[in-house]
Structure 1
Amino acid sequence: MIGIQASEANARTRGTRRFRPDPWAAGALLITAIVALPVLTVLGAAFFPTENIWPHLWETVLPGYIFSTLELMAGVATGTILIGVSAAWLVTACDFPGRRIFEWALVLPLAMPAYVVAYVYTDILEFAGPVQALLRDIFGWRTVQDYWFPEIRSLGGAIVVMTMTLYPYVYLLTRSAFLEQSSGVGEAARTLGCSPWAAFRRVSLPMARPSIVVGVALVLMETLNDFGTVDFFAVQTLTTGMFNVWLVMNNTGGGAQIAVVMLVFVIFLLVAERAARRKRGYHDTSTRPRLPVRFELRGGRKALALLVCAIPILIGFIIPAGLLTSYAIEFYDVSLNNRFPQAAFNSILLAALAAAIAVMIGLFLAYAVRLRKSTLLRNLARFASLGYAVPGAVLAIGILFPFGAFDNAVDSFMRGAFGISTGLILSGTIIAILFAYVVRFLALAYGTLEAGLGRVTPHMDDAARTLKHGPAQALIKVNLPIIRGSMMTAGILIFVDCMKELPATLLLRPFNFDTLATYVYQFASDELLEECALGALTIVAAGIIPVILLTRVMGRNRPDQELSVV
C-alpha cells in the first residue's frame, strides 16, 4: 500500500515537473505571436475586407501588376546570375591583375541602396543630363526627335539598376561554394580532358547551383521589397500597386489583398531557398587540402576578365558614389540648412533603438533554443525570423490595422470615462516604425547569435551549472562575454538595414517626421538630387560598414591556391 502511494506521489511529481511553466518556451511563443501579428492581420483584412474590390482589381490592374513584377524579377535574376557567377568564378579560379582587389571590391555595390542608384543615373542619363547634352553637342542634335536614347525610367532601367546593386548576394554565396570545392574536383575534370571553361560548366557550376539558388532567392526578396526604384521609374509592380490602392484609392482592404499576392511570391521564394539550402552540402571523400587550382589568364582573356569584374563596380558603386560626393561638396551649405540634420538624428535614433531591441530578442530566442534543445522552440524561433522575407510595405499594412484599432479603442474609452482624447498612441508615433524594423530584421539578430552561441562549447554551460548558476546567470556571466563580437555584428547589420529601409518608414512615420531614407526619397522625387546628396551619401557610408566586415571575413577565409597557365 505504501509502495502504491509512493508510486502515485512520484507520478504526480513527474506530472508537475512535466507541465511546469517554462519561461523560455513561453517567451519564445509570445515573441512568435507578436511577430506573426502583422502577417495574420494582412490575411484577415484581405479575406474579410469592409469593401471587397478583389473582382475589380482582377479585372483591371492586378494582372498588369503581377506581370510587371514577374518581368522585373526575371530580369534581375538573370542579370545577377550572369554577373555574380561569372565574377565569382573569375576571382576564385583564375589569376589576372587586380584579382585580390576585385575579390572585396565586387561587394561594394551592396552598400548602395537601389533607389539611390536610380536617382543618380536618372540625373546622369535624362534628357537634360550630361550624357545626352554631350551627345547633342557632338552630333548637332537639338530635340528628342532627332535621335534615340534608351529611357532610364523604365522597366529595363529598373532591371539594370537592381542588378548592379543586388548581384553581390549571388557573388558572395557562389564564391563561397567555389572555394569549398577541393582541388580533386578540378584534377578529375582535367584527367577527362576538360578545358577550364568545360570544367566550370560541367563540374563546378552544377556543384554550386544550390548556393546560386539561395543567392537568387535573396535577390528576389529584395526586388519584391523595393519601392523607391520602381516608384521613381514608374514601373507598376505589386508594391507600387499596393501603395496606389491604399493611399490613392483609400482602400485598405484592397491594399491588403494585393499584399496577400506578394506573400504568395514570398512563400514560393522561401520554399525554393529552403530546398536549395538542404542541397548545398556535398560529400568530399578526399583527404587532400582544399587548394583549388587557379588558372593564369593571358591576352584577350585577361582583358575580358578585367572588364567583367570592373564594370559592375564602376556602374554599381564608383559612378554613383562619385556623383553624390561631388554634389555633397558643392551643395554642402544647402544640405545643412535643409532638413538633413534632423533626418540624420531621427535615422540614427531609430536604427540604434531597433538594433538594440532586435539583438536582445534574438539573443533570448537563440539562447532558449540552445538551452532547451527543443524542436518546437527551434521552429518557433525560425518562424519569428521570417519577417526578413516579408516586404516592408506588407508589414506596414499589418501593423497599422491593430495599432490603429488599439488607439481608437483607448481614445474612445478615455473620452467616455474622463472626457479627454489620447490621440494616436501607437500608430502615430515612432513605436510603429520601431516595431516594423524589429519584426523585419529580427532574422539578422537570431541567425548571427545562433551561430555565435553554436561556437560556445557545451562544457562552458556545464561549468556554469557546477557553480550553481541558473540559465540567466550562465547567459550573462559565461556566454555573453564570449559572443560579444556576434552581438556587435548583429547590431551593426540591423542598424545599417534600418538606415536604408524606405517602404515601411514611408507608410508608418508620424506627420512631419523624416528619416534619411524618406528625406532623400522626397527630394529626389522632386528632381532635387543635389540638395539631398549629403543624405544619400550618409546612407551609403553606413552601408559600407557591413561590406568592411564581409571583406575581413573573406580575407581570413581565403585559401592559398595552386597556379596553372591558360
Structure 2
Amino acid sequence: MIALYNSRTWKLSSYIIALVLIVPVVVMLVGGVSASTQLFVHLWQTVLPSYLENTLLLAFWVVLLALVFGVFSAAIITQTNIVFKQQLRWLLLLPLAMPAYLVAYLYTDLFDYAGPVQRALRGWFDWQSPNDYWFFDIRTLPGAALMLALVLFPYIYMLTRGAFEQQDQNLIRASRLLGLTAKQSFFKVALPLARPAIAVSASLVLMETLADFATVQYFSVNTLTTAIYDTWLGYGDLGAANALASILMLLVLFVVLAEQRSRAGLRHQSARPNSKRELIQLSFSQQLIASIFCWALVILGFLLPITLLIIMAVQYSDFAQLSALLSTGINSLKVSVFAATIAVVIALSLGLYQRLHNDKYRQVPQLISGFGYAVPGTVLAMAMLSTLGPLDHWINDAAEFIGFGAPGLILSGSLFAIVFALVVRFSAIANGTITSGIKQIPRSLDYAPATLGVNLRGSLTKVHLPILTPAILVAWLLVFVEAMKELPAVLLLRPFNFETLSSQIYQLISDEVLEQGALGAILIVLFGLLPIVLLNKSKEKV
C-alpha cells in the first residue's frame, strides 16, 4: 500500500468525520441497552414475540423467493440459448427501480375485492358475493414477501449473473469430461462456485427486508420496523423505541457477520479464467418455460406496475397535482442534492486518505463511515432523535443561560436531521464507488507528483480528482437516487409541513388515493432507472 503524505490535519479530520457518522448509532445503542421502561416490558410480554416471529418469517420467505427468482434467471441468461437473451439481460434489472410499497399498493388495488380482476370474475361467472368463490388475499405476510421479492431479486440476479460469467469454463468442461450431465455440472460445479456472490446478494436482500417499513405497514404485517414506528409516534416512548431499534440492528449485524463468516476461506478458482462458454441448447418446451419464467419476472416486477401508474396518471392528473408535485419534488431534490454532495465529499476525503496517507490505520475511518448502510432507516431515525434531541435542548438551555432566546429545534426539527441521516445511511455507496475508481489509478501517478515536489493539494487537484471525475459522478448519482427513494428516515425526521415525494406518496397510499400522486410515483421510478442504465452501460463496456 502506498503512503506518501503525513498531514496531521487530514488525519484528524478523517477520524472526526468517521466518529461523527457513528456517534448517533452508538448513542441509540446505549439508550436502548439502558432502557427499562414499562412500555418495553409490556411489549415484550405481549406482542413483541409475534413481531419477532413475523420479522423472521418475512425475511425467510423474501430471501427464499428472491433466491429462486434471481439465481434461476441468472442461470438461464448465462447458461442457455434462451431467445431475447440480450433484451432480458437488462430488463431483469428493471424491478429494482420500483419501490416495494408502490408495487404492494398497485397489486392490492388490482386484486382486491373491489378491484378489476375480481369484478371481472364476478361478471363472467355471475358470482354474487365472496361466499360464492375463493380468491387469495394479497394483504398477508406471504403477499408482503412476494411483493418484496419481486423488487429485490435483481440484487441476486445481478451479482449471480456476474459470478457465472466470470467462472473458469475449463472447470465446467472438466466436469463434463468426467461424466456429469449439463444439469449436474451446473448444480455441482457452477452453482457452488457462485456461492460467494449469492451469499453477498442474499445478505443485501435480507438487510433491505429488515429495513422495509411501508410495505409491511400497508399490509398490516407487524414487524420490528412497524413496532419502532408505532412505539415512538403512538406512545411517545423514545427509550422503548430505542430498545426495539437496537434489537433490529443487532439482527442486521448478525446477518452481516454470518455472511462474512460463510465466505471465510473461500478462494477463487483461477486468476486467468477461460470465459469461452458453451451454452446449453434448450428444446422448444424448455425455451417456453424459461421464457415464461423470465418474462413473468419482468412483467410482474416492473412493466405491469409502471403501466398501472401511467394509466392512473393519465386518468386522474390535473393542475393541482402538478402544483403539489412541484413543491414536494423541490423538497426531494433539495434533500437529495445535499446528501449526495456531502456523502461524495466525505467518500473522496476518506478514500484518498486511505490511499495516500502514511497512517498505519488509515483504512479505519472509511470502514467506520460505511457502517451506516447496514442500519435500517427506521433505526437510523431513532439514532438521530436520540442524539440531536438532547443536543437541541442543551443548545436552548445554553442560549437562555447567556441571555438569548431559545432557538428551538434547530437540529432535530430541521432538514439537518434528514440530510445527516441520509449521509450516514448511504456513505457506504459513495465509499464503494469512489474506492473502485481510486483502485483504477496507476500507482505511479501517486509517486510522480511527490517526486516533482508537488504538495498534497496540488496532487489532489491536478492528478487524482480529474481522473476520478467519472467515479465521482456515478457515486453522486447513486446516492442521489437512494436518497430520493428513502422513506422511513424521512417519515420520522421530517419537519412539520415538509413532504418529499416518497413521504407524500406513502401518505396517499395510506389514504388509498395513490391516483392523486401517480405522477410523483412515476418520477421516483424514473429516478430509480438512472443507476440501472449506468450499470447496464458499464457492463456492456467490459
TM-score (norm 2): 0.96
| Residues 375 and 304 of structure 1: CA distance in aligned 2, closer, same or farther (over 3 Å) | farther
Aligned partners of 1:340 and 1:519 also within 8 Å:
no
Matched, 1:512 2:494: no
Query: CA–CA distance in 2 between the matches of 1:407 and 1:549?
Result: 41
1:178 corresponds to which of 164, 168, 183:
164
Aligned to 1:168: 154
**144-153 vs 321-330, which moves further:** 144-153
Alignment of 1:83-162 (within 5 A): 83-162=69-148
Matched, 1:372 2:357: yes
Aligned to 2:473: 488
| Residues 107 and 335 of structure 1: CA distance in aligned 2, closer, same or farther (over 3 Å) | farther
Aligned partners of 1:210 and 1:277 also within 8 Å:
yes
Alignment of 1:195-234 (within 5 A): 195-234=181-220
Is the partner of 2:279 in helix, strand or coil? Answer: strand
Is the partner of 2:280 in helix, strand or coil? Answer: strand
Is the partner of 2:402 in helix, strand or coil? Answer: helix
Aligned to 2:228: 242
1:55 corresponds to which of 24, 34, 41:
41
Aligned to 1:477: 462
Matched, 1:291 2:282: no
| Post-superposition offset of 1:310 | 0.7
Kindly provide the amino acid, as one letter, of the partner of residue 294 in structure 1.
L
| Residues 495 and 335 of structure 1: CA distance in aligned 2, closer, same or farther (over 3 Å) | farther
Query: CA–CA distance in 2 between the matches of 1:104 and 1:409?
Result: 52
Kindly provide the amino acid, as one letter, of the partner of residue 208 in structure 2.
E
Query: CA–CA distance in 2 between the matches of 1:405 and 1:120?
Result: 41
Aligned to 1:497: 482
Aligned to 2:419: 434
1:324 corresponds to which of 299, 309, 330:
309
Aligned partners of 2:375 and 2:425 also within 8 Å:
yes
Kindly provide the amino acid, as one letter, of the partner of residue 71 in structure 1.
L
Give per-residue Cα distances to partners, 1:488-529, cap 9 Å, x unaligned: 000000000000000000000000100000010001110101
Kindly provide the amino acid, as one letter, of the partner of residue 251 in structure 1.
D
Aligned to 1:382: 367
Matched, 1:27 2:13: yes
| Post-superposition offset of 1:21 | 7.1
Aligned partners of 2:217 and 2:226 also within 8 Å:
yes
| Post-superposition offset of 1:56 | 2.2
Query: CA–CA distance in 1 between the matches of 2:127 and 2:284?
Result: 39
| Residues 417 and 383 of structure 1: CA distance in aligned 2, closer, same or farther (over 3 Å) | closer
Which of these two proteins has the greater Rg computed from alpha carbons?
Answer: 1
| Post-superposition offset of 1:48 | 2.1
Give per-residue Cα distances to partners, 1:299-354, cap 9 Å, x unaligned: 11010110111111110000000010111122221563552211111101111111
Number of equivalences: 537
Query: CA–CA distance in 2 between the matches of 1:373 and 1:112?
Result: 44
| Post-superposition offset of 1:390 | 0.2
| Post-superposition offset of 1:280 | 5.6
| Residues 160 and 98 of structure 1: CA distance in aligned 2, closer, same or farther (over 3 Å) | same
Alignment of 1:396-411 (within 5 A): 396-411=381-396
Query: CA–CA distance in 1 between the matches of 2:529 and 2:12?
Result: 38
Aligned to 2:3: none
| Post-superposition offset of 1:145 | 2.2
Query: CA–CA distance in 2 between the matches of 1:135 and 1:37?
Result: 56
**457-466 vs 413-422, which moves further:** 413-422
| Residues 21 and 118 of structure 1: CA distance in aligned 2, closer, same or farther (over 3 Å) | same
Give per-residue Cα distances to partners, 1:242-284, cap 9 Å, x unaligned: 1111111111111111111111111111113323555564132
Query: CA–CA distance in 2 between the matches of 1:491 and 1:85?
Result: 30
Aligned to 1:391: 376
Kindly provide the amino acid, as one letter, of the partner of residue 66 in structure 1.
L
| Post-superposition offset of 1:51 | 2.9
Is the partner of 1:295 in helix, strand or coil? Answer: coil
Query: CA–CA distance in 2 between the matches of 1:498 and 1:292?
Result: 39
| Post-superposition offset of 1:47 | 1.9
1:255 corresponds to which of 241, 246, 251:
241
| Post-superposition offset of 1:373 | 5.5
**140-149 vs 130-139, which moves further:** 140-149
Aligned to 2:176: 190
Aligned partners of 2:78 and 2:164 also within 8 Å:
yes
| Percent identity over paired residues | 38
| Residues 85 and 507 of structure 1: CA distance in aligned 2, closer, same or farther (over 3 Å) | same
Is the partner of 1:273 in helix, strand or coil? Answer: helix
Give per-residue Cα distances to partners, 1:177-210, cap 9 Å, x unaligned: 1111122122112112222211111111111112
Aligned to 1:560: none
Aligned partners of 1:331 and 1:531 also within 8 Å:
yes
Aligned partners of 1:211 and 1:277 also within 8 Å:
no
Aligned partners of 2:433 and 2:474 also within 8 Å:
yes
Kindly provide the amino acid, as one letter, of the partner of residue 295 in structure 1.
I
| Post-superposition offset of 1:31 | 1.2
Aligned to 2:346: 361
Query: CA–CA distance in 1 between the matches of 2:457 and 2:135?
Result: 64
Kindly provide the amino acid, as one letter, of the partner of residue 448 in structure 1.
T
Provide structure 2 residue ranges, at least 5 long, that are not aligned to the other structure.
1-5
Query: CA–CA distance in 1 between the matches of 2:358 and 2:68?
Result: 41
Aligned to 1:530: 515
Aligned partners of 2:321 and 2:516 also within 8 Å:
no
| Post-superposition offset of 1:85 | 0.5
| Post-superposition offset of 1:126 | 1.1
Matched, 1:444 2:425: no
Aligned to 2:321: 336
| Residues 535 and 253 of structure 1: CA distance in aligned 2, closer, same or farther (over 3 Å) | same
2:524 corresponds to which of 530, 533, 539:
539
2:453 corresponds to which of 443, 454, 468:
468
Query: CA–CA distance in 1 between the matches of 2:7 and 2:456?
Result: 15
Matched, 1:43 2:43: no
Give per-residue Cα distances to partners, 1:110-153, cap 9 Å, x unaligned: 11111111111111111111111111111111222222211111
Query: CA–CA distance in 2 between the matches of 1:374 and 1:198?
Result: 50
Aligned to 2:286: 301
Query: CA–CA distance in 2 between the matches of 1:86 and 1:270?
Result: 24
TM-score (norm 1): 0.92
